[in-house]
Amino acid sequence: MTQAEGHDPAPAFLSRNEIETLCLKAARGAGMSWGLAEEAGFAAAWLAARGVDGAGALLAHLQNFAPCVIGVHDRQWRATNGTALCPIMLGATLGDHCVLDAGPWSAPITIDAVSQPILLVPFLARGAQICAKPLALTWPGGSFVILANGNVATTALTALSRVDVTTLTLSPASEVAPGTAPGCPMAPLSAATLERLNTLALRTTVPASDTSRRGAGAATSDND
Amino acid sequence: MTVSALQCGRASDVAAFRRTPDQVMRLARMGSAHPTRLSFLRQMLRRMQAEAWRFDRPVWQIDAKGVGRAVYRAIGPVRTYSLVAFAHDLPDEMRSDRVIATAWDATFAMFDGDPTVADLDRLQANVPLQEAGRISVRELALSRANRSVRLFGHVVDRLSQGLQPDPAEIASVGYLMRTTAVYGAGKFGAADRALIEDREEVRAPFQIEMLTVWFIRAFCADLVEHLAALKGGAQAALLDPATRRALGVGNSTGLGMAPFLVRHPVLLNNWMMAREEALAQVRAQPLAQPQDVTALHLALRNFCENAALWHSSHPIQIAKLAGLRADLDRIAARLAGWPETGTHPWNALWQWGETALSLEGQEALLALLLEPHGDLIDGLGECMSADEVQSQRIDGAMTIAALRRSLQANYGWALAIDFTDPANTARFWYVSEEKLEPRLGERHLEPGADLEQPLCIARLVQALHAGLKGLDGAGSVAEFLMQQPEHRFALRRVQIMARRPFAEVRDNLIAADMLPIDLMRCKLAFFGASRFDPRSDKWVRISLFQDMPYPEDFNVQIAQ
C-alpha cells in the first residue's frame, strides 16, 4: 500500500526540503547510486507537494530494492533480468530521453513492468515541460494525460498511487484541457513511513568514534 | 575626451579585466576571502535603508534572571518579519557550541508576519528544543546563541555599576553572544524556500538568516542593559552608542557548513561570478574620480582598524594575519601617489597588488576596490540567487563527444590529480550516525570510507571520464546513463559547470593537506563575516554586523 489510507495516529508534516533530503538519503541507504538517489528525493518531494504520499511509495520500492538494468527492444522497455523496473531508474532514463527519438514523446513505448509507477510521474511531468508536449499514460486500470505544462489531475495521481506493479504504455497525446496546478498542502508521512525511511537513511552514516568526535569541534573551550 | 564618452566604451572592455576560474576557484584563495559590499548582510542593510523599513520590539518579557521572551519586528513596505527570542538561564557546564549541545543561552525563530500570543506559546514549546522541536510554515528560520561568558558578565557588571565596559575587553571578544546555528528554509518544519522566493526582499541569498542575526545582535545589547538595570537599579548605565556599535554577533561553526559550497554549485557560481564581474567592472574604469579616490582611502582606513582588532590564536591564521597587516601597509604606501597619470588606474592598482601582495592582501584589495563603486556594482547583488531546481535536470541529448569536450575544457584540473597517490585520497567526508553532521575522516586510518559522501568532485569526474572510454562520440548522454547510471551524479556536475564556470572548487577536497576552514571562510565572507578566527583546521569563530547600524538607528534616520 503506497497511500497511508488507514488512520494514522501521528502523521509527520515535513517540509518539501525535508522530504527530498530524507528520501535522497534513504534511497542511497537502500543501495542507489548518488545520482539516482537525488532523483528519488526529487520524485518523492514532487508528489508530496501535490498531496500524494510519494515518500510512502518510495519506501515500498526501497524495501525490495535491487539495481536494475534496462533493456529496450522495438520500443519495449523491460528489466534485463525479468523483474519489475525500478521507477526511479526508469523515470530518470525516460526524462533523459525526452527530446530523443527513442523517448515516449516521439512515438509510443511500452513498459513491461514497473514497481510503484506513481514515482514515474514527476519525471514524465518534467519531460513534458521540457519538450512542451503532453504525454498519455495508460495502464490496465486507467489512463491520464500529463499536460505540456507538467500538470496532472489529482484524481489521476490518486488512482495510479494505488498500483504496486503494472505494465504501462506511454504515448504522445493531444492537450486535453488547460491545466492549472491545484494548490494543496504537502502530503504528510505516516509515522511508520518516517521511521523506516529514517532507518534506511541511517545506513549512509558512520558510527562515531572517539577520534571523529574529537576532530569535529573546537580545539579550545566554549566557556570563554 | 569626456568622462561619459570614456564610460560608454566601458562595457565592451570588461572582458579583458576578468579573472579566470582557474585563478579564483582555488581553496587557498577562497580561504582568504573578505567581506565586500556585495556580501549578503550589506545587501540587506542597503535594501532596508532604501525602503525605509521600521523596527520595534512589541514584546519584552524577561525576568531578573534573564529568562523569558521577546519579539523584534521588521516592518517593510509589503511584509512584516518578527524575530521571536527566548532567553534561558544556562549553567556553564551545559554550554557548548557543538551541534551535540541540547541547551543554549538563547534560542530564536523568525516568524513570517506578526505572531499572536498563541504563536508565541507554540514556539516557546518548540524553539528552545531546537533540532528536537518542530516549527511550522509560519516560521522562516531557527537559531540559537551562547554567551561569551567573559564579556557578557563583564558588560553586565560594569553597566550595573554605572560604568561603561572596558574597551580592551570589548575589542578582544567583540560580541556578547555567538550563534551556533542558523537554520533556514525548510529545516525542522520551517517554510520551504519555494514559498517565499517570489518576495523581492528575500530574493538575495540568506536575507532571512541575516535579519535573524541582526536582530539577535539587538537582543543581546538589550539583554545586558536589562540585566544591568535589574542588578544596579537607578545607578545602572546604558551602553554608550560607540560601544554598542562595536559589538557584533559572534558565530561559531564547524564542519557542518563546509560542504555547502560543494553541494550548491549553481549558488557558488552565481556568488563568485557577481563578485568577479564587480572587480572586472571596477578595473575597467578608465579614470578614478576624486570622490572615489577619497572613498578608497576611507575604506582602507576602516579595513586597517578592523584588521588591528582581528585576533587569532591559530598558527595558520596568525601567519596570514601578519601577512595581511604587512600588505595593508604596502597598499597604504602604494596609494600615496595613486592615481598616477595614465588610463585605467584601478587596473594598475590591481595588477600591482597581484604581484606585490599575499593572497590575503590581494583579496583584501578586491574588497577595497569594490567599496567606492556602489553605483557601478551594487546591482550585481541581484544576480547572486539561483534556481537550483532547473539546473538539476540532465540534458540527455548531449553527445558523448560534447561531454568529452566539456570535461577537457572545465575539469582539466580534476583529471590531472593523481588519485593513486595515497596523499591525494587521505581524507573522506562522511555523515556521523550520532549527530547526522558532516565529518572528515582519515581514509587510511579510520573505518567508514565505504560510506563516503560525494564531495570529492574531482575523483567522481575522473571516474566518469574513465567510463566514457571507447564510446562512440555520436552517442547520447541518455544512452550512456542507461548503461552506466552510477555516473549520473558526476555527469550532472559536468553539465552544470558547462554553463557556470565558477561552480566548482578547483582543488582536491580529500587531499591530506586540504583545509576545511578555507571553504567556511569563503562562505562566511559572502555572508559579510569579519574577524575570521579558526579554532582548529575544522572549526572557526567569526563576527557579523560589527560596526554596523542597529535597527533603531534606521528608525532615527526615518524620523529625521
Give the model confidence (pLDDT) of B214-253 as tens digits. Answer: 999 999 999 999 999 999 999 999 999 999 999 999 998 8
Q: Looking at CA atoms only, how far is residue A202 from chain B in angstroms? A: 7
* Inter-chain CB proximity B393 and A95 less than 8 Å: yes
Residue B2 domain-assigned? no
Q: Which of A35-44, B187-196, B414-423, B465-474 has the lowest mean pLDDT?
A: B187-196
Ordered per-residue pLDDT tens for chain A, 224 residues? 444 445 677 889 999 999 999 999 999 999 999 999 999 999 999 999 999 999 999 999 999 899 999 999 999 999 999 999 999 999 999 999 999 999 999 999 999 999 999 999 999 999 999 999 999 999 999 999 999 999 998 889 999 999 999 999 999 998 776 655 567 888 999 999 999 999 999 999 998 777 666 666 555 666 66
In a domain, A171, yes or no: yes
CB B138 within 8 A of CB B209: no
> Residue A146 falls within a domain, yes or no?
yes
Same domain, B376 and B394: no
Q: Which of B448, B477, B535 sits opposite A206 (nearest CB)?
A: B448
Q: How many other β-carbons are positioned within 10 Å of the β-carbon of residue B42? A: 19
User: Do both B296 and B333 map to the same domain?
Assistant: yes
Q: What are phi and psi of B67, to 5 degrees?
A: -110, 135
**Is A205 within 8 Å of B488 when comparing Cβ atoms?**
no
Give the count of domains, chain A.
1
Quick check: is A222 in a domain?
no
What is the arithmetic mean of pLDDT over B71-97? Answer: 94
C-alpha cell at B240: 554608550
Residues B417 and B358 in one domain: no
Domain limits for position B491: 388-498
Residue A3: what pLDDT?
43
Domain-located, residue B542? no
Both B332 and B476 in a single domain? no
Q: What is the mean pLDDT of residues B49-67?
A: 95
- Residue A56, domain extent: 16-178+188-203
If asked whether residues B122 and B229 sit together in one domain, one would say yes
Q: Which three cell numbers stand for residue B137?
A: 510554515
Of A92, A95, A222, the CB nearest to B95: A222
Q: Say if B8 falls within a structural domain.
A: no
Which of B386, B415, B438 is the last residue in one of the domains? B386
Report d(CA A13, CA B323) in Å as an integer: 52
Interface of B with A in 315-374 (CB under 8 A): none
Q: In whole angstroms, what is the distance from residue B124 CA to residue B133 CA?
A: 10
Average pLDDT value for residue range B534-541 = 86
- pLDDT score recorded for residue A219: 57
A151 lies in a domain? Answer: yes
Residue B146 inside a domain? The answer is yes
- CA angle, corner A164, sides to B488 and A200, nearest 5? 50
Residue A198 C-alpha cell reads as 529514517
Q: What is the mean pLDDT of residues B177-203?
A: 92
User: What pLDDT is attached to residue B97?
Assistant: 81
**pLDDT of amino acid A220:** 62
C-beta atoms of B432 and A14 within 8 A? no
For B160: left if phi > 0, alpha if psi spans -120 to 50, otherwise beta; the answer is alpha
Q: Is A40 inside any structural domain?
A: yes
- The full length of chain A comes to 224
Distance CA A119, CA A87 (A): 6
Query: Looking at this protein, which amino acid is placed at residue B397?
Result: A
Same domain, B133 and B237: yes
pLDDT value at residue A212: 65
What is the predicted pLDDT for the residue at B437? 86
Which chain B residues are within 8 Å of A71, Cβ to Cβ? none
Interface touch A35/B482, C-beta < 8 Å: no
* DSSP conformational letter for B289: -
Contact B179/B251 with Cβ under 8 angstroms?
yes
Contacts of A218 in chain B (CB under 8 A): 97-98, 252, 254, 535-536, 539, 541
* Single-letter amino acid code for the residue at A152: V
From B116, B488, B195, B282, select the one nearest A35 (Cα to Cα). B488
Residues B401 and B483 in one domain: yes
**Most A CBs within 10 Å, among B393, B395, B442, to test the A interface:** B393
pLDDT at residue A19, as a whole number: 97
Choose from A21, A204, A205 for mutation: most chain B CBs within 10 A: A205
With respect to residue B42, please indicate whether it lies within any of the assigned structural domains: no
> Domain for residue B523, yes or no?
no
How many contacts, defined by CB atoms under 8 Å, are there between A and B?
153
Q: Which of B386, B402, B437 is the last residue of a domain?
A: B386
> What predicted TM-score, i.e. pTM, was given to this entire model?
0.94
- pLDDT band for B309, please (50, 70, 90 cuts): confident
Q: Does A176 touch chain B (CB under 8 A)?
A: no
Backbone φ and ψ for A82, nearest 5 degrees, come out as 85, -5
CA of B340, closest CA in chain A: separation in Å? 48
pLDDT at B559 over 80: no
pLDDT at B390: 83
**DSSP 3-state of B147:** strand
Q: Are B409 and B504 in contact (CB under 8 A)?
A: no
Res B1: pLDDT = 37
Q: What is the pLDDT of residue A2?
A: 40
Contact assignment for B193 to A36 by CB distance below 8 Å: no
Give yes or no: residues B379 and B435 share one domain: no
Q: What is the pLDDT of residue B2?
A: 41
Give the residue from B386, B417, B446 where a domain finishes. B386
Query: What mean pLDDT value characterizes chain B?
Result: 94
Say if B11 falls within a structural domain: no
Nearest to B310, CA basis, from B537, B27, B529: B529
CB contact under 8 A, B439 and A67: no
Asked if A98 has any chain B CB less than 8 Å from its own CB, the reply is yes
Same domain, B320 and B215: no
Mean pLDDT of B383-407: 94
* Chain B, window 144-163: residues with a beta carbon less than 8 angstroms from a chain A beta carbon: 146, 148-150
A102 contacts chain B (CB < 8 A): yes
Is B282 a member of any domain? yes
Percent of chain B with pLDDT over 70: 98
Residues B337 and B392 in one domain: no
Mean pLDDT of B185-189: 90
**Cα–Cα distance for residue pair B82/B140, rounded to 1 Å:** 10
* Residues B360, B480 share a domain: no
Same domain? B270 vs B365: yes
**Residue B9 predicted with pLDDT over 60:** no
Task: Select the residue of A14, A93, A126 nearest B482 (Cβ to Cβ).
Answer: A93
Residue type, position B370, single letter: L
- Residue pair B513/B416 in contact (Cβ under 8 Å)? The answer is no
**B487 interfaces chain A, CB cutoff of 8 Å:** yes
* Total tally of structural domains belonging to chain B: 3
pLDDT of residue B8: 39
Task: Say which of B137, B434, B489 has its CB closest to residue A38.
Answer: B489
